[in-house]
Homo-oligomer: A and B are copies of this chain.
Amino acid sequence: MADHQEPGSEADEAQAAAPAPDRDEDDFLPRRDLLDRIDAAVEAGDTDALNALLEPMHAADIADLIERLHGAGRRAFLTLYSDQIDGEILSEIDEAIREDVLEYLPREVLAEAVREMDSDDVVDLIEDLDEPERAEILAALDDSDRAAVQQSLAYPEYSAGRLMQSEVVTAAEHWTVGQTIDFLRAEEWLPEQFYHIILVDPRRHPIGYVTLGRLLASRRDVPLRDITEDSFRTVSAYAEEGDVAYAFNQYHLISAPVVDSDDRLVGVITIDDAMSVLDEEHEEDILRLAGVGEESAITDSVFETMRQRLPWLMVNLLTAIFASLVIAIFDETIQRVVALAVLMPIVASMGGNAGTQTLTVAVRALATKSLTGSNVWRVVRREAIVGVLNGLAFALVMGLVAWIWFDGASLAAVIGIAMVVNLAVAALAGILIPLGLEKAGADPALASGTFVTTVTDVVGFFAFLGLASAVLL
């Protein structure tokens, strides 16, 4: 693809970016001066120089480069480079900006790119597109590829059926090692990466699989049946992708055959797909816990960023006003003992933090399926005990601080008791709210944080100010 040879030095540089002794982590990223040179080539409108610079780069790194560009910069880049974008780069580009990129692709480049892609990547590409673009891409595919993509799209979103690729290597159940090797040698087309040969019966029901290592190590006359793996398990095309990813992680699967409702083989899911799903689920958890829309990306525009965050801030405003209403009940008490206004945020803040700690551990445990029926009550009990003990510890510390600061033993007692109450409630809210959401079929990470801090603010203010008005007045 490089049109001339001079920039060989840059090519070497990019190669050197592969991890090697005595290199630091930044070597996993394209080097800064390479990026500068790419910028310069784009600015100069020098297609040849740009192609030569990008030629040695991995598709994933080129995709990242495109993601990091913005506005005019991205447009300029795509105008120069669009005819070099292949299926690999296209499947690496983040969903959020894919439509932008598609607009710049000459139709024949796009058609060529989708023809090289595995069916799962095509599905991933077109499932979010509007009808005209979708139809255009489908039209570019061969009949059999198109049928495979359409079959995949017929399964629900986020199902194994959407995640699988239809390119599968199968063998008849009665074949020997030798027959299988001869078949593979004769086969014109094989997937880029495959890790198992799936044994199927005449009705295409998968009945076992053989690892390629085992196949290679066995004599030609050995029947495939004799060397199948114990770990064989199939995945329903209707299974939820999160559960599939869990199974890959839990059972160290490398690929898994996917079957339809008649138990017939329809595709295969490989570990890189499972890894992406795990990554996305983690992203969702961490963003949802923080009250950020789960599709947030660092590449979002100002407008998109606001759209992701405003709703949660609005919810937070409502709950903050709700907590303020509790304070307002006790406004006369505060007017008489202004120390209460000084100290009350401490009680609320400690509750909020303790609740968030419990919540995060609970959400993570639910996500990894390590908090289940069999240990849930033990965990709830542990959290409650920890809440009370932490409450007692901080009651002591904060009681002393309040006593010294405001010279009042009753005030010290009030803040101490409020601290124990709020930290115990925080612990319970932190575990019971995500469990409740999970039970109700919702994502335990979603809005949990807001619920928990609402509880700890309200309880914190109420316990502290309520006790104070009873004791101090």
Contact = CB atoms under 8 A, between A and B. Distances in A.
Contact of A338 (B242, B290, B334): B334
Given A217-B184, A372-B29, A360 B306 contact: no
Interface string A281-304: 011011101111000111111100
Interface in A196-252: 211-213, 215-219, 231, 233-240, 242-244, 246-252
A375 B32 CA distance: 12
Nearest to A383: B305
Contact of A298 (B32, B252, B375): B375
A93 to B, nearest CB: 13
A147 interface: no
A374 B285 contact: no
22 contacts: A19-B160, A19-B234, A20-B236, A21-B238, A23-B236, A23-B239, A28-B247, A185-B218, A194-B213, A212-B213, A212-B215, A254-B272, A282-B286, A289-B360, A290-B360, A297-B370, A298-B370, A305-B382, A317-B346, A317-B394, A341-B341, A345-B348
Nearest to A15: B233
A278 interface: yes
Interface stretch (A40-48, A127-135, A361-369): A361-369
Interface stretch (A3-11, A105-113, A350-358): A350-358
Contacts of A359: 290
Contact of A190 (B217, B242, B309): B217
Contacts of A296: 361
Given A238-B21, A259-B21, A216 B184 contact: yes
A364 B372 CA distance: 28
A397 B310 CA distance: 12
B331 A342 contact: yes
B213 A215 contact: no
A271 B320 CA distance: 46
A134 to B, nearest CB: 25
A349 interface: yes
